Structure 1
Amino acid sequence: MSAPVGHLARVELEELDGHGAVDDEPSARPFRSRARRHAGRVTASVVALVLVLLGVQSWLDARERARLRYLADVPGVLRPVPDPPGVLWPWTPGVGSLVAGDSAGGWAVGADYRAGGVDLRGIDPATGDRQWSVPFSLDAALPPGGRSEIPSVWVRCTTVRSGDGPLAVCAAEVSPAASGGAATPLMVLDPVAGTVLATPTVPAGSLWSTTESHLVRATPAEDGRGGVRWTLTGTDPATGSVQWRRSTPVVPQVHEVRIGDDVFRSDPALAADDDRVLLTDSGHAWLFGADGSPRGDVTVATDGWAELGRAGTLVWMPWQNFAVPAGVLVTAAGARVAVGELPARLSVDDGTAPGVVLLTGGDGGWDGVALVARDAATGDELWRAEGVRGEPLLVDGVVHTAEGADVVARDARTGEVRWSVPVGAVPAWLGTDGSLVVVVTPDRTLHGLGLGDGRPALSVDLNRLTPGDPAGIDQVADYAGRLLVRFRDGSGIVLG
């Protein structure tokens, strides 16, 4: 029966949810209530997580900036290569061959060889502008007959650190040398201002080298019975003040070895890096610290030569029948291990993988050389790579090599291949700016590969950056943090 007119009927109202739908689940009501009560706590957790992620990213960014700052001071590392790179300035022979440069890219010293002498020039590596010029006298090094013989002249420089900034220690050497040897004139100068601070001379028969902060000279004294004793002196390059002095025992002089019908002759040699000094003579090698502290000596049965290796090692190579490679790897602890390789030349070594020494074997012909990694403490072989061309890079514990038309990245300790990328031709040069492996190929193409994964990041046809046709590539080199590409017609470009 219908309700009487004029009276309201009772109606049950159904609860709707927030979207207008009927809420027919009473159990959902407590859930919504709990969600409302905990919304603030959830929001705070999300905000905290975002802040943590931002903090981690900020820490990673700071670590990467610190890494790049460190690499900027490592010799051979380029300044960041832009995309695309451009020509900073055209290189010409008149600029002078680079003989010293700032790893961070602030200054460069070039040697301009002219008739009758050499000029050292300060070059702004960002513009190519000459900032100063200093003539370098060759009088002390000229052979009999003086300039009339037109000797071959070259300048070599090393950089040392002082409390007032960097110093360049340069030597002018000539060939042919005067009979009986000739003195070697040195020039110590401020490479930024071009101020000459000292002009010492190394007497004939003496040797010189530099550590991180010292000029080291080695002077022989014969004992009259066929023996020789060497005295090594470490001095302040600018003032000449003696910082340390050490002497070797007297040893018999042996500078000629006959093996079958072959006669090998050797000369004494002095080499140094930032913290070691190595003197070799007559079948002996003496090792000292940069402060002159004795680090040990190596004596072998025959004469030969020695080279400093990374991770505190050295390699002694006696004169021998070269059909049977043989040498001795001397570890930092003094252990001796027979090897058939020499220390590898690295275009960049950032000091990582301190327990690994890298050596090369083979003649470096068309097939390349073998790159061999050994444990620096035991001499055990860790891995080897065949067919390596040019100078490898060691950055962040990874060795980068050119092998055929590929660039290959390997873990320095295990040899595990991290990545391998073809670049279309045998690389003419490998370098890095700390973020990219920079590759230049003979077809005048510049490639940039991600340092960590090898991913192609840029590819530039250098022909588009050079006027005319400069012919093939003659040399690619680091020019105080910039990339110098020289062509066979004598022209060149400095990229940045």
Structure 2
Amino acid sequence: MGGMADVELVEDEERPRRASGRDATSSGLATPVEPDDGPAPDPAGRDPRLRRLRRVALAGLAVLVTGLVVTQQVVDAQERERLTRYSDVAGVLAPLRPDAHELWRRSARTDMAFPQWSVVGPRGDLLLGGVVDTDGSVTLTAVEPDTGADVWTVDVELTAGPPRTDFPGSVSCLPEPAPPAASAPSAATASCLVTLPEQLVDLASEDGSTYQYALGRSALLLIDTATGEVLEHVEAPLGTQFRSLPGGYVTATPDVTLDPAWTTPEDIPPSAVTVARYDWGETTPLWTFRTTPEADGFGRNWVFGDAQQVMVESGSTVWLLDADDGALIGSLTGPDGYSGSTMTIPGGGVVSSSYAGAGPSSQMLTAAGTVTDLSGLTPVTRLVDDGSASDVVLLAEMTANWSTGALVAVDARTGARRWESEGTAGWSAIVLGGVVYTSAGRELAAVDAQDGSVLWARDLTSSDAQLLTDGSAAILAGEGRIDAYDLRDGTPLWSSLVVSTDGSAALQPLTGAPSVTATAAGGLGDRDSWVTMVGRHLALMSPTGEMAVLG
């Protein structure tokens, strides 16, 4: 049986090769043919080898295009993963576009229950707000953050009765990390603190001016965010402060109550503060702690707590307590006439700073009870913190003219200085993925939280801009414009003006990336609006009290 001749497939117009003599003989052909000396000439003069090279080039281009598409898909997937990773971090905006438009608006001046506190509900974020009515009742409202539509409204009666001063009461709500032990609901919960000013007294200072001391009543409400149902309702005696804790709350009550006979600050006696920790649904405290009497302990007392520690501030002293049993961890005492700030440390501890003519005087109390002097440094507020740099405390050096100097990190456990970065620190910072982002003057910088090395730095268009982030970009808002820079390398991404057209607010993209020369047909942006956050959305507050939420 005869064999089959080899065949080469070619494009149209390319002639196939002739079979070799060996192939022809084996196929049983009677007359042998001459060996193949190469391809026959193309009558049109086209070289078949060029055609084959063209096919190879086209195949290579197809591989390159496929590679670019796959690479872009990987980059897009990484960006989506990055945005998802930070979406649950408090203070991170929803992804912001340069052409964001108004989603909804309300008047924070006429709608006193304006919902601006973001809490987690059973179906995602909710905005909670509240108002104290003239009869002393409280109206709580939950709003869908993307549309501004009301989800539920609940009225709560308080036993304290109506406010007894001209000052209105206030309501603030925070996510509650744990449900009460008594009812243990499955839905997410939030705690709302209601404050009702009740007593006022005018005091005369040495320079002849007068100021007011206020004393009020407080109520703490635990709310089912799905329905608005009040799960727990606790009201405290006059002058007592509340702070919600996981699974319960803590109270702080001064020994001294307001006396209408007081006329000067010297009339106020020293006061101690009693701190008590409660579980939800219980009337007997788990523990109590009483501070020593402090001058101005009545006028200056404050309590804060979390799952690890409870901090109480009275007069010029700060006490740090163990949240489980109330044991004293340690205390810090500032100078007489203390005026400053106190900041808790992630993972335990506290930094207390006082301010005088010579500059800041800061002290650090660690979770182990050791005290470290941090003179010349002031704490840097973490606007956004994903917990990736919880092992360090961020501070800024203060210069003689009260501006910030270098960014400094100290060990959160020991207080030892870890590093000092180049450049200038801002008063606040964003911490994401082990990187500290800070702006000072006309510079935005990214600093490695482990060693203080500057990863990148960029010049800014404004020296008075508010630092925000959506997890992908550092967003600088100020002077009627918004500029965005890539968090990864500081690359300028986009700029927009804040504009208002026909009563509706929006962002108007500028030509080119963030720069001093970037312009738009509309000219300057709206410099009177104040940029803030409502839930996870960027919002603009106008001078008339209108709040426009963008998305």
TM superposition score category, shorter chain reference = 0.7 to 0.9
User: 1:493: which partner in 2?
Assistant: 548
Q: 226, 232, 237: which is aligned to 1:192?
A: 226
- The alignment status of 1:442 with 2:442, answered yes or no, reads no
Provide the secondary structure at the position in 1 that maps to 2:160. Answer: helix
CA–CA separation in structure 1 for the residues paired with 2:404 and 2:543: 23
User: 2:46: which partner in 1?
Assistant: none
Contact 1:188-1:198 at 8 Å conserved across structures = yes
Q: Which sits farther off after the overlay, 287-296 or 162-171?
A: 287-296
CA–CA separation in structure 2 for the residues paired with 1:462 and 1:181: 41
Would the alpha carbon gap of residues 251 and 234 (structure 1) be closer, same or farther in structure 2, given more than 3 Å must change? closer
CA–CA separation in structure 1 for the residues paired with 2:345 and 2:427: 18
Alpha-carbon displacement from aligned partner over 1:235-265 (angstroms, at most 9, x marks no partner): 22xx3476x72233x6531224xxxxxxx98
CA–CA separation in structure 1 for the residues paired with 2:299 and 2:391: 32
Contact 1:187-1:196 at 8 Å conserved across structures = yes
Letter in 1 for 2:543: R
CA–CA separation in structure 2 for the residues paired with 1:213 and 1:134: 23
CA–CA separation in structure 1 for the residues paired with 2:504 and 2:254: 55
Would the alpha carbon gap of residues 460 and 64 (structure 1) be closer, same or farther in structure 2, given more than 3 Å must change? closer
User: 1:269: which partner in 2?
Assistant: 302
Contact 1:471-1:488 at 8 Å conserved across structures = no
Q: 109, 118, 121: which is aligned to 1:101?
A: 118
User: 1:259: which partner in 2?
Assistant: none
Contact 1:374-1:382 at 8 Å conserved across structures = yes
Shift of 1:291: 3.6
Shift of 1:395: 1.0
Provide the secondary structure at the position in 2 that maps to 1:74. Answer: coil
CA–CA separation in structure 2 for the residues paired with 1:194 and 1:480: 18
Provide the secondary structure at the position in 1 that maps to 2:286. Answer: strand
Letter in 2 for 1:190: D
Between the aligned residues of both structures, percent identity stands at: 24
Flag structure 2 segments of 5+ consecutive residues without an equivalent. 1-32, 43-62, 180-184, 202-213, 257-269, 506-524
- The alignment status of 1:325 with 2:360, answered yes or no, reads yes
Contact 1:438-1:448 at 8 Å conserved across structures = yes
Letter in 1 for 2:362: G
Q: 134, 158, 173: which is aligned to 2:195?
A: 173
**1:410-449 alignment to 2 at 5 Å?**
410-443=447-480, 445-449=481-485
CA–CA separation in structure 2 for the residues paired with 1:62 and 1:247: 52
Q: 387, 390, 395: which is aligned to 1:354?
A: 390
Letter in 2 for 1:155: V
Alpha-carbon displacement from aligned partner over 1:31-81 (angstroms, at most 9, x marks no partner): xxxxxxxxxxxxxxxx9xx99xx89x97x9877656544422211111222
CA–CA separation in structure 1 for the residues paired with 2:391 and 2:225: 35
Alpha-carbon displacement from aligned partner over 1:292-340 (angstroms, at most 9, x marks no partner): 464712254867574312343311346x855353231123333321113
* Aligned CA-pair RMSD: 4.3
- The alignment status of 1:160 with 2:195, answered yes or no, reads no
Shift of 1:101: 0.7
CA–CA separation in structure 2 for the residues paired with 1:134 and 1:488: 30
Contact 1:283-1:301 at 8 Å conserved across structures = yes
CA–CA separation in structure 2 for the residues paired with 1:365 and 1:212: 42
- The alignment status of 1:121 with 2:141, answered yes or no, reads yes
CA–CA separation in structure 2 for the residues paired with 1:395 and 1:466: 38
Q: Which sits farther off after the overlay, 358-367 or 337-346?
A: 358-367
Provide the secondary structure at the position in 2 that maps to 1:347. Answer: strand
Would the alpha carbon gap of residues 241 and 371 (structure 1) be closer, same or farther in structure 2, given more than 3 Å must change? farther
Letter in 2 for 1:328: Q
Alpha-carbon displacement from aligned partner over 1:190-238 (angstroms, at most 9, x marks no partner): 233222223211222433212344322245679xxx99573421322xx
Would the alpha carbon gap of residues 420 and 251 (structure 1) be closer, same or farther in structure 2, given more than 3 Å must change? closer
Flag structure 1 segments of 5+ consecutive residues without an equivalent. 1-10, 21-46, 257-263
CA–CA separation in structure 2 for the residues paired with 1:282 and 1:357: 24
**1:152-301 alignment to 2 at 5 Å?**
152-161=168-177, 162=179, 164-175=186-197, 177=199, 181-219=215-253, 230-236=274-280, 239-240=281-282, 245-248=286-289, 252-256=292-296, 267-281=300-314, 285-292=318-325, 294=327, 296-298=329-331, 300=333
CA–CA separation in structure 1 for the residues paired with 2:401 and 2:458: 23
Contact 2:104-2:550 at 8 Å conserved across structures = yes
Contact 1:284-1:297 at 8 Å conserved across structures = no
User: 1:85: which partner in 2?
Assistant: 100
Contact 1:122-1:192 at 8 Å conserved across structures = no
Would the alpha carbon gap of residues 197 and 322 (structure 1) be closer, same or farther in structure 2, given more than 3 Å must change? farther
Shift of 1:348: 0.6
Would the alpha carbon gap of residues 176 and 232 (structure 1) be closer, same or farther in structure 2, given more than 3 Å must change? closer
CA–CA separation in structure 2 for the residues paired with 1:156 and 1:181: 18
Would the alpha carbon gap of residues 300 and 462 (structure 1) be closer, same or farther in structure 2, given more than 3 Å must change? closer
User: 1:375: which partner in 2?
Assistant: 411
TM-score scaled by length of structure 2: 0.66
Contact 2:152-2:227 at 8 Å conserved across structures = yes
TM-score scaled by length of structure 1: 0.73
CA–CA separation in structure 1 for the residues paired with 2:475 and 2:545: 23
Alpha-carbon displacement from aligned partner over 1:168-187 (angstroms, at most 9, x marks no partner): 22222244635794431222
Q: Which sits farther off after the overlay, 176-185 or 339-348?
A: 176-185
CA–CA separation in structure 2 for the residues paired with 1:113 and 1:387: 44
- The alignment status of 1:396 with 2:411, answered yes or no, reads no
Shift of 1:13: 6.0
Letter in 2 for 1:255: A
Shift of 1:375: 2.6
User: 1:483: which partner in 2?
Assistant: 538
